[in-house]
Amino acid sequence: MINGDYIIFERLTLDHIRDMKHWGIHKSPLFRDYNFIFRSDEERKNFLLQKTLSPLNQYYAIIYINEVIGFLGMKKINFLTKNSTLGLVLNPDLVGMGYGTAVLCKFLDFYFNVKKMKKMELEVAGYNPRARRLYEKMGFKVKKSYLDLYPNKTLDENSPEYKEFQDQFVMEKNKLYNYIYRMELQKEEFKFELCY
Positive or negative: CA dihedral 186, 54, 145, 132: negative
* Per-run averaged pLDDT (10 residues), the chain, 196 residues: 82 95 90 84 94 95 95 97 97 93 94 96 96 95 97 84 93 92 96 78
Buried b (16+ CB within 10 A) or exposed e, 116-142: ebebbbbebbbbbeebbebbbebbbee
pLDDT number for residue 20: 92
List of residues 6+ apart from 46 with CB closer than 8 A: none
Between CA 31 and CA 39 the distance in angstroms is 19
CATH number for the domain spanning 37: value is: 3.40.630.30
Between CA 114 and CA 57 the distance in angstroms is 17
Q: What is the pTM of this model?
A: 0.91
In three-state form (DSSP H/G/I as H, E/B as E, the rest C), the secondary structure along 140-161 is CEEEEEEEEECCCCCCCCCCHH
pLDDT number for residue 114: 92
Element (H, E) at 68: strand 67-78
Helix (H, G, I), strand (E, B) or coil at 164: helix
pLDDT number for residue 1: 58
pLDDT tens, residue by residue, 67-122: 999 999 999 999 999 999 999 999 999 999 999 999 999 999 999 999 999 999 99
pLDDT number for residue 128: 95
Domain containing 164: what range? 4-195
Number of folded domains in the chain? 1
List of residues 6+ apart from 70 with CB closer than 8 A: 61, 62, 88, 89, 90, 91, 94, 99, 103
- C-beta of residue 125 within 8 angstroms of C-beta of residue 178: yes
Between CA 139 and CA 118 the distance in angstroms is 14
- C-beta of residue 114 within 8 angstroms of C-beta of residue 196: no
